[in-house]
Amino acid sequence: MHSFGYRLNGLLTFAVTILALMCAITSLSDNFNTPSPSAEIKIININWFQKQPQGHDEVSLMMNVSADLQSLFTWNTKQVFIFVAAEYGTPKNSLNQVSLWDAIIPAKENAKFWIHTSNKYRFVDQGNNLRGKKFNLTMHWHVMPKTGKMFADKIVLTGYSLPEEYR
Amino acid sequence: MDWQGQKLVEQIMQIMLLVFAVIAFVAGYVLGSFRMMMIVYAGGVALTALITVPNWPLFNRHPLNWLDPSEAEKHPKPQVAVSSKKERHQKVNVVLAAE
């Protein structure tokens, strides 16, 4: 500690080390949060349901997505990324997950919402398996922190099905 | 800064930084604001730097007792051999200090 530069270096190094420790403890504090999210998805309408030129089935739907994800937010949350995926099985693939819609929720106030939308991303099958297909819609979320560990979870909503014939 | 000042400054620095870290974390957690934690901590680091880094006189209250020049004269520096082409400089640092 014999010179100005030596003391400055020591102070800055120690300060940054303690900062790293503070960030670690902050991330650990997220584990004390017990979230209680809820979500509901209604399929309002099937816009069209066709077999594409390449031979794959494709469907376009109109959904009403409503959710209350406010309990996911902590003081260490930067944003929450959510997406809705359709899940079903086929003879070729035991599990298909097709992402239909996603959004970024930047703050707790925006986390209680409803949205009336058609699917943002195309619902295409690897084959022709969608006629009369029963599927689940899952709401996934990724809680992205300001510092530390990201938490991800989902809600599975069952009981959806597609029409028997193309429209 | 003298030896005792250096020791004091190191202690002050470590304690102040830890205390400000705790205060900052508690403030951030209670207010639910990450930004607040960072602001309080940054302020704490700046304050600690202001107190401990510059060479304040209060940390020099037990200055080192360097010996008088007369003592050094009794022990002359070794003679330097001078060559015709180049002069080689030999620097001998003779430092005498009493604790």
Cα A110 versus chain centre, distance:
15
**pTM of the entire predicted model:** 0.78
Query: What percentage of residues in chain A have a pLDDT greater than 90?
Result: 89
**Sign of the C-alpha dihedral, residues A22, A26, A29, A31?**
negative
Residue that is written with structure tokens 């997950």 in the block = A97
| Residue B92 confidence class, pLDDT cut points 50, 70, 90 | low
Contacts of A165 (CB under 8 A, 6+ apart): A49, A131
Q: Do A1 and B9 touch (CB under 8 A)?
A: yes
pLDDT higher than threshold 90 for residue A75: yes
Question: Please, which residues 31-50 of chain B have a Cβ atom closer than 8 Å to chain A?
Answer: 31-34, 37, 41, 45, 48-49
State which residue of chain A sits closest to B6, comparing Cα positions.
A1
**B28 interfacial to chain A (CB closer than 8 Å):** yes
Substitution target in A6, A16, A22, A71 with the highest count of B β-carbons within 10 Å is A22
Q: Are A162 and A46 in contact (CB under 8 A)?
A: yes
Q: Which of A98, A112, A103, A110 is nearest to A82 (CA)?
A: A103
In a 13 Å sphere around the CA of B63, the CA atoms on its Cβ side amount to: 8
Q: Are A68 and A38 in contact (CB under 8 A)?
A: yes
What is the mean predicted confidence (pLDDT) over B51-77? 81
